[in-house]
Amino acid sequence: MNITLDLSPAVHRHAGLGRYASELLTALLAVAPEHAYSAVYYAPQGAERPAPPLDRLPAQTLHLGPKPWRMSVLLADYLGVNMDRWVHAGEVFHATDHLLPRFKRSRTVFTIHDLIYLFYPQYHLPLNRWYLKLMLPRFLRRADAVIAVSEHTRRDVMRHMRIPEEKITVIYEGANPAYRPLRDPAAVAAVRARYHLPERYLLFFSTIEPRKNLAALLGAYHALLAQPGDWPHLVVAGRKGWLYEPIFARVRELGLEARVTFTDWVAEADAPALLNGAELFVYPSFYEGFGLPPLEAMACGVPVVASTAASIPEIVGDAGLLVPPTDEAALMEAMQAALTDAQLRTHMRARGLARARTFTWEAAARATLKVYAQVIEQRGRHAHRV
């Protein structure tokens, strides 16, 4: 097979989308190196070369920033213009970003991560919301096959986009093998020192934006500190996303400046040690298409407290403590139980490790290759009928 992937999210390091594109490519190259892979990505003129594994592929760079490239695709789409002249795609073009150009010669696969712009429009910037509302339904209808990263996302796409069930394949993301219990305390201590972290800490690790529900975590943590006990520090790790200013205001309002540490961006190589050093991972998000952070925490053997929202129960299962995202009292009680009940912690650790082993990028890559083969086969059947 000759496969072209849009790896723009990985080039621009777009959090979850970028991780998906990079991890999937790495796994595809490992499990099926016999296929011909190439990359397409948009980047301004003079942008630096992409990091591994993207640098291993023949690549076409579209010298446009994200907004001009989106507008180009949008205009071509509405004019009915195929993009084959400008984008050199193989037999299969896999859109890993929220963008699918119109092609005449290539079969297309579109990965949909979530429909958060529909359910929580207030958590999206207006321009992004407008673009997704206008274009995402068109992309989903036009794609020859759709990959959903969870059953929850599949159901949302069927219900709200009217995409037939047989067109959608659920392919879960995975935990990179680097996310595992570490036997070297010095490695954990080194990362703790690098980011100026306390000896004991609870951890939230993801992009800082409203849908992650950090305001509830801060309220629950404030209530926890009011309970008798020697409670760990709270570490909020991850880069700033959008609309994050109220989070920092909430810290000041609750007087938590001395008990909450914000690390900002954390290098990918440091993430497993950061997780290993945590006593508890807390993830009260309102909405996730998949939920990679709690999976990676479980893979490191860290007990997880997370929300009952969207796909999170699908990923965490019975390995963690799940509470409604709007119930700060329940969140505080779950954190307290996980920190003080040694038997519960042992149980959560064992179940989390076992559950994390069922989500692998190797399995994701093999399932994705089947989707590629199916869309090529569909074209063959269509050509034969004609």
- How many Å apart are CA 231 and CA 298, to the nearest integer? 21
CA distance 277 to 270: 11
Give, as one character, the DSSP assignment of residue 120. Answer: -
The alpha carbon dihedral of 83, 143, 135, 23 has a sign of: negative
Same domain, 230 and 322: yes
Query: Would 179 be classed as within a structural domain?
Result: no
**Residue 180 within any structural domain of the chain:** no
The verdict on 156 and 217 lying in the same domain is no
Q: Residue 366 falls within a domain, yes or no?
A: yes
> Is 13 a member of any domain?
yes
Four-CA torsion 185, 190, 191, 197, nearest 10 degrees: 100
Closest CA to 62 of 108, 134, 7, 138: 7
Does residue 368 share a domain with residue 343?
no
- In order along its 386 residues, the chain shows pLDDT tens digits of 999 999 888 776 667 788 899 899 999 999 999 999 998 888 766 565 667 777 778 888 887 777 777 788 888 888 889 988 888 899 999 999 888 999 999 999 999 999 999 998 887 778 888 889 999 999 999 999 999 999 999 999 999 999 999 999 999 999 999 999 999 999 999 999 999 999 999 999 999 989 999 999 999 999 999 999 999 999 999 998 877 899 999 999 999 999 999 999 999 999 999 999 999 999 999 999 999 999 999 999 999 999 999 999 999 999 999 999 999 999 999 999 999 999 999 999 999 999 999 999 999 999 999 999 999 998 766 543 33
Do 258 and 240 sit in the same domain of this protein? yes
Alpha carbons 280 and 366: distance in angstroms, whole number:
33
Domain count along the chain: 2
Pair (22, 104) in one structural domain: yes
Indicate if 225 and 135 belong to the same structural domain.
Answer: no
Residues 248 and 153 placed together within one structural domain of the fold:
no
C-alpha–C-alpha distance, residues 187 and 285, integer Å: 29
Q: How far apart are CA 92 and CA 383, in angstroms?
A: 16
Which structural domain range is residue 332 located in? Answer: 185-356
Query: At 280, which CATH number?
Result: 3.40.50.2000
Asked if residue 318 is part of any domain, the answer here is yes
As a whole number of angstroms, the distance between CA 104 and CA 233 comes to: 56
